[in-house]
Amino acid sequence: MRLRLLQLGSILSCSVPGLALAAEEAAHHAPNWGLLGLAVLNVVLLAVMLRRFAALPVRSFLFQRRESIRRALQESEGCLAAAQQEIASLKARLQSLDRETREIREMAQQQATGERERMAQRAAESAERIRQDAERVSGREIERARQALREEAASLATRMAAELLRTHLTPADDKRLADEFVQRVNGGAA
């Protein structure tokens, strides 16, 4: 039923302006009140038909559109709040990152200073050990050299004494020394 009324209204709304235009051409001089009435009737019928058939879909569309806009606004407000919260979190993290960076740098400097001191101490200890080892080795070498010098001196003294004895000892001195030796051996045995 509604569909037929809608079709009838459409036909009337399309045909009335055409009739009005034809009537206007026929009489140019006097206003045609009938034609004006038909035009008004056409507008009223169009308004009634729009109200009756299109009001509910238009209202529904506008309601849905308003609700979708409201939901989109709520979502965007939620996203805005989340973004602001994330920005605040990032700012706090950035500030703490600066503090952490300073702390890490200070800790690294302290560790480097401690390591430098430990390395200096180890180097000093190592140098002391090397010095002590060198003293021991040099002491041994000096003692060995002294012993070698003593042996060389004794050998040289023995050779010189033998040489002196050969050159200054006479056969009479030789006989006398042999007799003294025999007496000492006999005297020590008796």
In a domain, 96, yes or no: yes
Which residue range(s) make up the domain with 120?
A: 2-137
In a domain, 189, yes or no: no
In a domain, 113, yes or no: yes
13 contacts 45 by C-beta, under 8 angstroms: yes
In a domain, 146, yes or no: no
Predicted confidence (pLDDT) per residue in 23-51, tens digit:
566 556 778 898 999 999 999 999 999 88
In a domain, 100, yes or no: yes
Nearest to 20 by CA among 30, 9, 34, 8: 34
In a domain, 179, yes or no: no
In a domain, 155, yes or no: no
Confidence bin at 7 (pLDDT 50/70/90): low
Sign of the C-alpha dihedral computed for residues 87, 89, 92 and 98 taken in this order: negative
- Which residues are within 8 A (CB) of 173 and not within 5 positions of it... i.e. 6 or more apart? none
Tally of residues, the chain: 190
46 contacts 76 by C-beta, under 8 angstroms: no
In a domain, 175, yes or no: no
Predicted confidence (pLDDT) per residue in 126-141, tens digit:
989 998 988 888 889 8
Rounded to an integer, what distance in angstroms lies between the CA atom of residue 136 and that of residue 142? 10
